[in-house]
Structure formats: C-alpha cells, structure tokens
Amino acid sequence: MEKAEPGARVAVFSKPHPLANELLTAIENCLARHGMDAVFDHVSASALGRADGHSREEAVLGANLVISVGGDGTLLSTARVVGKRGTPILGVNIGNLGFLTETSAREVTGVLNATLEGRARLIKRRALAMRRESDPEDAEITALNDVTFSKKDLARLFSLSLFVDENG
C-alpha cells in the first residue's frame, strides 16, 4: 500500500467489546502521530468517550483506509459498507480466532505504522455480487466471503446462474 499523506481520512469501525477501548485509544494515538484525519463510527466514538461518531456509511466516504476492530463478522460487515469503493480494510482481531482478521491486538500499532508508512503489502480479494432476478426491487448485494441462498419451504427448487467476471 502507498504511504498515506498527512490529512488522509481513515475510518475506524468496531464492535462493542471490553478489549476494544484500549485498542481504539492506541489506534487513535497512532493515527494522530501520523497526522491522519480519523473518523470513528458511533460504536468506536462511544468507546473512546467521544461525541463525534458517524454512521459507517458517512465515515467511509472519502476514506483512504478503513480499520475494522472486532472479528471476522465485523470485517464482513465493514466490507459490506465499503462495497465497491475498493477502500483497503485493515482487520484487527480482538477475539480468539480470526481467519480474515489476521492482525492481533498486540500487533496493531506496528502493522498500522507499516501501513501508513507504505511498508505494508495490500492483498486484494475478489468481491461477490448477488442479485435475485425474480425481485427487480432487490438491489445487488456485495459480499466478501460467501453468499448463502435459503428458501422458505423445504420442497421449493430454485435456479442458479453463476457468472465470473461477466462470463456465465
């Protein structure tokens, strides 16, 4: 990832968790040392005792980086908000096991410094898009990891068309 210029916008999302407060303070301090414009979602701002929390949709607008503090579920919900913008997401795991959130709480300052200084490697993941053709009112849904199809009645069948890069 390229070096972040001072004043670059960094959105920070988290889930309520006892370990989040200390970690969010470390992230806030690191971003301030680098001169970043930190924008916190409502949950993160509340954990820091700040009154300037934003909706996630507002916070991600114009962001150069999004930091997701929680677990894989938090990262997946962050990816849904980021959508097709292509904004890099740094996933920080505060639980026991994270497949998508590889950065641990004790590594966050070092990894965040490396990211902001342009020393981190950006891994691009393909997003999935799902749309139900039977309901034109449904918007396209973007997913990072998987999409689950379920039906109300056990006996119902459905047709599935799969396209990869516009090829079906």
Domain boundaries, the chain: 9-116
Q: What's the pLDDT at 109?
A: 96
* The pLDDT of residue 168 is above 70: no
Q: What is the pLDDT of residues 77-131, one digit of tens each?
A: 999 899 878 899 999 999 777 888 889 999 999 999 999 999 998 888 777 777 7
Q: Is 106 exposed, middle or buried (0-12, 13-18, 19+ CB in 10 A)?
A: exposed
Average of pLDDT values for 53-59?
Answer: 97
| Predicted local distance difference test score (pLDDT) of residue 160 | 73
Do residues 32 and 38 make contact, with C-beta atoms less than 8 angstroms apart? yes
Backbone φ and ψ for 80, nearest 5 degrees, come out as -65, -40
Model confidence pLDDT, tens digit, residues 27-45: 999 999 999 999 999 999 9
Instruction: Name 85's Cβ contacts closer than 8 Å, sequence gap at least 6.
Output: 60
Give the closest residue to 63 by CA, choosing from 9, 117, 13, 115.
Answer: 9
Give whichever of 8-12, 147-151, 153-157 has the largest mean pLDDT: 8-12
Given this model, what pLDDT does residue 130 score? 78
Where does the pLDDT of residue 67 fall: very low under 50, low under 70, confident under 90, or very high at 90 and above? Answer: very high
Average pLDDT for the chain: 87
* DSSP 8-state code for residue 41: B
- Rounded-to-integer distance, Cα 67 and Cα 71, Å: 12
Prediction pTM value: 0.83
**Active-site amino acid positions:** 72
Question: What's the CA gap between 47 and 28, in Å, rounded?
Answer: 12
Q: Which fold has domain 9-116?
A: Rossmann fold (3.40.50)
Q: Which of 78, 67, 47 is nearest to 116 (CA)?
A: 67
Burial per residue of 32-66, b for 16 or more beta-carbon CB atoms within 10 angstroms, e otherwise:
eebebebbbbbbbbbbbeeeebbebeebbeebbbb
